[in-house]
Amino acid sequence: MSAVLKKVQFWILPIISGLLLLLVWYLIAYIYASKEGFDVQRIIIPFPHQILDALISERAALWASAMKTMQSAVLGFLSAVVVGYALSMLLASAVWVKQSLYPWVLVLQMTPVVVLAPIFVLWLGQGLPSIIMITFLIGFFPIVANTTMGLVSTDRNLLDLFEMCNATKSQEILHLRVPYAMPYFLTGMKIAGTLAPIGAITGDLFAGSSQGGVGGIGFMVIIYNSQLKIPELFATAFVACLLGFVFVGCVNYLHWYLLKNWHDSVRRAEAS
């Protein structure tokens, strides 16, 4: 298959499937409206153009909410990255440390965040600190699990090479273990990056408030739902999805940028 045809396929096929999906949506909404009336249809399954209208009319409020959620997601994600990386270094430092601490990290991961969320609200109050805590907890484990794996799986021959060079422990960590674990760490970051906006929105649902005149996306979901503003609710879902793409896109760019020169995963993807 020629390169041009491949590119056409890459763009055209999703557009065609997207248009078909819109058509099916219109069809279902129309059938529903013809049975139950257009007023009921609007609050159960709105037409796509009604969602677009809501997106335009509520753009200022949605933009402000998206920015607030982005702020929570970024802060929660960065906390997960910093604390997760530091903990991984600690876990990888000695077998007994890992044996002592890792089961408790697993316990924290296995406890559903939705159960812990009300406790955080109780401790930290409504608002940003609780939302950051919830986002942090969702993204923290993939970073710890992946980075620890990378730090402890350094190639034996490379460790021998460093030993032959009389490298100190800190040189071994800085010049070998850390770069060797980089692809693992970045994979953990990619997973945490996918989860961070979800964590921030979940946090909003439990701890969101309109402090400062605006709430996050999760808070808007509660408001629109209580007012039966269903097209606005769909518009909010669209904005949340967009936010997720922007967030993951940034993390993926970082992954590509840091590995582009040397790691097989990036070079193979670019070659194919």
3 vs 164 by CB, closer to another protein? 164
Does 265 participate in binding another protein (rule CB under 8 A)? no
* Nearest distance from C-beta of residue 264 to another protein, angstroms: 8
- Residues between 131 and 190 that touch another protein (CB under 8 A): 155, 157-158, 160-168, 171, 175-176, 179, 182
How far lies 196's CA from each of 28, 106, 199, 213, 248, in Å?
A: 33, 19, 5, 23, 9
* Interior/surface letters 43-56, b for 16+ CB within 10 angstroms, e for the rest: eebbbeebbeebbe
Spatial distance between the Cα atoms of 156 and 166, rounded to a whole number of angstroms: 15
How many C-beta atoms lie closer than 10 Å to residue 196's C-beta? 31
2 vs 261 by CB, closer to another protein? 261
Spatial distance between the Cα atoms of 132 and 107, rounded to a whole number of angstroms: 20
38 vs 257 by CB, closer to another protein? 257
How many C-beta atoms lie closer than 10 Å to residue 221's C-beta? 21
Binding another protein by CB under 8 A: which of 21, 262, 265, 269? 262
* Nearest distance from C-beta of residue 184 to another protein, angstroms: 14
Of the listed pieces 9-17, 63-71, 197-205, 257-265, which binds another protein according to CB under 8 A? 257-265
Size of the site for another protein (CB under 8 A): 22
Spatial distance between the Cα atoms of 197 and 244, rounded to a whole number of angstroms: 6
Binding site for another protein (CB under 8 A): 155, 157-158, 160-168, 171, 175-176, 179, 182, 261-264, 267
